[in-house]
Structure 1
Amino acid sequence: MDHETLYQAIFHRCSVRKYDAAPLPKQTLEELRSFMSGLLPLLPEIKTELKLLGPDSIKINAPHAVCLYSEKKDGWRMNAGFLMEQIDLYLSAGNIGACWLGMIKPDKGKTAPPEGMEWLATLCFGTPAQPMHRTGAEQFKRKSLNEISGLTDLYHVLEAARLAPSAMNSQPCFYSGDTHSIVVSRKKNLMLGKLNQIDTGIALCCLWLSLLHQGMTAEFSFEPQPVPEKHIFMASVKTGK
């Protein structure tokens, strides 16, 4: 599946919470495995592993789940969000319902984590038993663009990041800097801090796809930059043609 198809899925995806109990066809799961083997990481130096599980291994109300395990290194949560959002959008584009499960881990004793890694994120999925696509941006409950950035010349790019899902719809990300180097920070939140790090990776994935859609390049840097008060620097994105 190409980047443009993933980008278009941003504008109609939604969290699906009701599923048909029947498992997806084996071919569909094999195609998903093939897609997952080619995911682009945000931080390639962090080792990760993805596992496809069923209700016998994890408490979900869907026939399938994909769980991400990762080395515990700086940026590991953000990297997980970046990787898993690619899967989320792939599923939505293929008319397969999916939902982020921020706190649902595989059952202990049934699925052991890979050596040197920890569970970090779960996405359940399956055939939806409810409408699974939004019909327009007005159906998203999100902050306005001027609440998340003052970069008015980039609002056409930031719209995709604005629509990114986040824990409790908290939308922690703020976009500052300039048109050539977008600085991404997240609002401090004691309760949602860990999940908001994953959320930042999700938003960065949507921003990356949006830049590609505009015919631009994205080069990520993690050297600290000044950010607004009560925010934490997460990444900067150097843009180009």
Structure 2
Amino acid sequence: MFPKLEWYQAITKRVSRRRFRLEGLPQETLTKLELLCYQFRFPEARAVLVLDNSGAIYKGLVGSYGKIKGAGAYIAFVGDIGFPHYQEKVGYLGEGIILEATNLGLGTCWVGGFFRPEVVAKQIYLDPGEKVLAITPLGLTDEQYSLEEKLLMGFAKSRKRKELAELTAGIPSEQWPHWVRQALEAARLAPSAVNRQPWRFMVEQDSITVKLDSPKDSYNIAKRLDCGIAMLHLELGAMAAGVRGQWQYLAGEEVAVFMVEKQ
């Protein structure tokens, strides 16, 4: 059932939004997202939809112009730190839910370092060992960006992406199987903290390995969470090209390898 192929179409539509219209969210949309949070989860990662329009969970982002305003709800992305690979799983499932929200017409924004986890912890139940790693606001947005959003996008250079040649190693691009470029282009568009794009890809004939650019984290957000987001994008790109595969999680600077299912 997951991931959903229709999420692939949302990859190019999804943009970070921080200004929302002060109006209620459609109940049908909220019900669909709540069901998805229930269905799309792992033992070490889950998501919780919270109806809260107070704004109390948000800290200022890059000064006053970056603060999130007007969101009618948010989703908390929770990881169990007692499990290996919980960060990657949180990124993977969180991006799936964000892409679903995009297809449902809502604005979203990954927030990993500028929210108050202690406030979130009072609004949801956490098992021992669980931690809120990130959140996304949910809301209806105007077509045009606000001035504040434009300023923040310019600061973060959010639309700039590294070229595939800078991100890839392994077999030469002219020898890539038909599905690889579509998978990598989708992964290349994945969001990451301040657009740092910490992933690198080792391409082989029947697999792509996702690696860290360096072991050092930054901005108090794990690079492995970012890589989990890219992993989902990569898998969706492969699916759109007619290829399915499985992830095998790795250790060290290697995050995971996507291996094509044999026909």
TM-score bracket for this pair, using the shorter chain length: 0.7 to 0.9
Report the AA paired with residue 21 of structure 1. L
Secondary structure of residue in 1 paired with 2:108: strand
Deviation string, structure 1 residues 192-223 (Cα, Å, up to 9, x no partner):
47431110010001111111111111211124
- 8 A Cα contact 1:173 1:200, kept in partner: yes
Is 2:78–2:134's contact at 8 Å kept on the other side of the alignment? yes
Q: For residues 39-74 of structure 1, what are the alpha-carbon distances to aligned partners after superposition, in whole Å with 9 as ceiling and x for unaligned?
A: 2x5xx4425352324133623521211002221121
State TM-score, norm by structure 1.
0.84
**For 2:231, which of 192, 198, 204 is the aligned residue?**
204
- Matched residues, percent identical? 27
Q: 2:186, 2:4 → 1: CA distance?
A: 13
Contact 2:45 2:90 in 1 (8 A): no
Q: Is the 8 Å Cα contact of residues 23 and 64 (structure 1) preserved in structure 2? A: no
Look up the equivalent residue of 1:146 and give its one-letter code.
Answer: A
Query: Are positions 1:110 and 2:129 aligned together?
Result: no
Q: Residue 118 of structure 1: CA displacement?
A: 1.4
Alignment match, 2:151: none
**Runs of 4+ off more than 4 Å:** none
1:69 matched to 2:67? The reply is: no
How many positions carry a matched residue from both structures?
Answer: 226
Q: How much has 1:113 moved relative to structure 2?
A: 4.0
Aligned-residue RMSD, C-alpha: 2.4
1:64-213 map, 5 Å? 64-72=73-81, 73-103=83-113, 104-106=115-117, 107=119, 110-116=122-128, 117-131=130-144, 140-150=159-169, 152=173, 153=176, 154-188=180-214, 189-192=216-219, 194-213=221-240
**Pair 1:47–1:159, CA change in 2 (3 A):** closer
The answer as to whether partners of 2:45 and 2:77 remain within 8 angstroms in 1 is no
Query: Is 109-118 or 180-189 further displaced after alignment?
Result: 109-118
The aligned runs of 1:34-73 (5 Å cut-off) are: 34-39=35-40, 41=41, 44-46=42-44, 48-56=46-54, 58-59=57-58, 60-61=68-69, 62-72=71-81, 73=83
1:113–1:34 Cα change, 3 Å:
closer
The 1:36/1:129 distance shift into structure 2, 3 A limit, reads: same
Amino acid at match of 1:222: Y
Distance 1:193 1:207, change over 3 A: farther
List gaps (5 residues or longer) in structure 1: 133-138, 225-230
Could you tell me the TM-score, scaled by structure 2's length?
A: 0.77
Separation in structure 2 between the aligned mates of residue 120 and residue 99 of structure 1, nearest angstrom: 14
One-letter code aligned to 1:210:
G
Question: What is the SS of the residue equivalent to 1:8?
Answer: helix
Output the amino acid matched with 2:166. E
SS of 2:162's equivalent in the other structure is coil
**Counterparts of 2:121 and 2:100, CA distance in 1:** 30
Q: Distance in 2 between matches of 1:78 and 1:47?
A: 9
Query: Does the alignment pair 1:222 with 2:249?
Result: yes
1:82-129 deviation line (CA, Å, top 9, x unaligned) = 011001111111221111111213416732541222111101110013
